[in-house]
Each structure stands twice: as structure tokens, then as C-alpha cells.
Amino acid sequence: MPPVLRGAGEGATITVCPDGPLLVRGDVEIVDVDGEPVERRRSTVALCRCGRSSIAPYCDGSHKVRRGRR
């Protein structure tokens, strides 16, 4: 199950990258399916959309080796 974003502060944005991750910028808490916070070390993070990342929920660039669009 994908992570959930909650508590978005003013100015928080989510940018959809074509054939890539979701870029999350600003004051947003990322939680797992159990509602537990997911560690976040940066103010901008890339969330995986392809399901191949070895560091999920964050993107590790694995989508670049995939063929076709999703």
C-alpha cells in the first residue's frame, strides 16, 4: 500500500514527474499504512510510483530501467 501524506502546510506541493516519481516539497508528514511516520531527512523527497524502488516509499531511480509508460 502506498504511503499517505497528511498535514500539508501552506506552500506544500506535489509534482508529478512524467514516467518518474512524485516530488513532495514543503511541510508534509508521510505516514505508512499503519499511520506511523516515515523518516524524512530532506525538505524535498521523491516518492516511488513504479513499485520497483529498493528504498520505498522513496524513489531510487529504478523506473529508468522499465519499458513503457505507466
Interval 15-24: pLDDT, tens: 999 989 999 9
Residue 33 and residue 70: Cα distance in Å, rounded? Answer: 23
- Displacement of CA 37 from its chain's centroid (Å): 13
Look up cell 529508468; give the residue.
64
DSSP string, 35-67: SPBPP--SSEEEE-SSS--TTTTB--SGGGG--
Q: What are the mean pLDDT values of the chain's consecutive 10-residue runs (70 residues total)?
A: 61 90 92 91 93 94 72
For the whole prediction, is pTM greater than 0.85? no
